[in-house]
Amino acid sequence: MKEIEKRKILVDPGQGPIRVDKYLMDKLSDLSRSKVQKAIKKGAVVVNDKTVKPNHILKPSDIILYEALVSEYDGKIIPEDIDLNIVYEDESVLIINKQADFVVHPGHGNYTGTLVNAIAHYLGTDIPTMSGNNADRIGLVHRIDKDTTGLMVIAKTDYAMTFLADQFSAHTIERKYVALVWGQPEPLEGTIEGNVGRNPVNRIQQIVFPDGDQGKHAVTHYKTIKPMYYVSLVECQLETGRTHQIRVHMKYKGHPLFNDVRYGGDKILKGTVFSKYKQFVHNCFKLFPRQALHAKSLGFVHPETKEFMLFESDLPEDFQQLVDKWNSYLDGRKKVLDEDQD
């Protein structure tokens, strides 16, 4: 059964110049970037009664109308033949290296094309769910955001599901991420602790409740791998696994993830904004149109062998290109400083 989804959005009065596709990716957080862009190209997005292109620049108080034909979700998982980057597989577990712009499980606006749909096709229907009857959690014991890349473990048996879920609950799973953040954390290595919960003002965001009166206990250990003047490459190790935990904790510390639209990292937050630097950063945004976060390593005790297994993954190509671009900028800056001292 099909239905038309209609949304009317008033651009915030204080909103700075921003592309309509980027703005909608934030506001329509339940939709993937590709679906937003397809809707725009099909003429399903109208600004001030006129169809626009994805690069249309919005102004404060613009009125956006979004219409799209969507499926009415009946809770059933449709197996779909979607390529999976499989790192490891045995009779109990499946380890995948998730690509960007890949929603993990079905939800409003994303009823098909998700990781769960792909798992259902690859493994068949006789695989476990988190609660035994919750179809949209088929095989899943954890998840990562749709634009975060990296390692995930999928359970293939009921026993593996329970065994792995217990490790996540006990916080004994080893999970390390690599992030590019704005600024340079001080100290360079440390721990961020603060309850994380839904923002009561902006419901699509999570925030830190430092007094611990709301939200859930959350702990992130971080270590700066390489400071690069205006950004830093940081390794984050999760002790807990709350929604958007690294993104929220790093923002709370004053270092949002690079190009994280939802948490303000899509603006130039460090450095004097002169023409060449501004263009450089915007080129970086264009090269890497999502939050700079990658699930680098995943370690757990295997359900059957009871041995600890550790998996590592390299940065995806575009993330590495982003880091290389900032390294080149850093080298160029050092060269200028050295010449000035001569």
Last residue of one domain, picked from the residues 113, 145, 166: 166
Q: Does 142 share its domain with 180?
A: no
In the numeric block, the tokens 């009317």 are attached to 8
- Going edge to edge, which strands form the sheet with 2-10? 2-10, 63-71, 45-47, 50-51
Q: Does 59 share its domain with 123?
A: no
∠ CA 222-99-291, nearest 5°, is 45
Last residue of one domain, picked from the residues 45, 71, 97: 71
Number of separate domains in the chain = 3
Q: Does 54 share its domain with 151?
A: no
CB 136 within 8 A of CB 77: yes
Q: What does the pLDDT profile of the chain (342 residues) look like in tens digits? A: 345 567 788 888 888 889 888 888 877 766 667 778 888 888 888 999 888 888 899 999 899 988 765 554 556 778 889 999 999 999 999 999 999 989 887 766 667 888 988 998 998 755 565 444 444 457 889 989 999 999 999 999 989 999 999 999 999 999 999 999 999 999 999 999 999 999 888 878 999 999 988 999 999 999 999 999 899 999 999 999 999 999 999 999 999 999 999 999 999 999 888 889 999 999 999 999 999 999 999 999 999 999 999 999 999 999 999 999 999 998 887 665 454 444
The pairs formed by 126-134 with CB atoms below 8 angstroms and a separation of 24 or more are 127/155, 127/156, 127/157, 128/155, 128/156, 128/157, 128/158, 128/160, 128/161, 129/161, 130/161, 130/165, 132/158
Q: Does 258 share its domain with 203?
A: yes
CB atoms within 10 A of CB 163: 20
Q: How many residues does the chain have?
A: 342
Q: Does 175 share its domain with 215?
A: yes
**Catalytic residue selected from 145, 147, 260, 266:** 145
pLDDT at residue 222, as a whole number: 98
Q: Does 142 share its domain with 201?
A: no
Q: Does 33 share its domain with 120?
A: no
Q: Does 150 share its domain with 182?
A: no
CATH code of the domain containing 234:
3.30.2350.10
CB 97 within 8 A of CB 313: yes
Provide the residue range defining the domain that includes 25.
2-71
H helices present in 96-137, as ranges: 115-123
Token pair of 275, please? 């023409």
Q: Does 95 share its domain with 158?
A: yes
**Read out DSSP for 169-236?**
HTT-SEEEEEEEEES--SSSEEEEE-EEEE-SSSTT-EEEETTSSSSB--EEEEEEEEEETTEEEEEE
Nearest to 318 by CA among 278, 270, 283: 283
Query: CA 139 to CA 257: how far, in whole Å?
Result: 29
Q: Does 292 share its domain with 310?
A: yes
pTM above 0.75, yes or no: yes
CB atoms within 10 A of CB 8: 10
Last residue of one domain, picked from the residues 143, 166, 189: 166
pLDDT at residue 31, as a whole number: 67
Query: CA 93 to CA 80: how far, in whole Å?
Result: 20
Look at residue 3 and give its three-state secondary structure: strand
Active site residue 338: no
Query: CA 76 to CA 61: how far, in whole Å?
Result: 40
Query: CA 300 to CA 151: how far, in whole Å?
Result: 12
Q: Does 186 share its domain with 152?
A: no
Q: Does 231 share its domain with 333?
A: yes
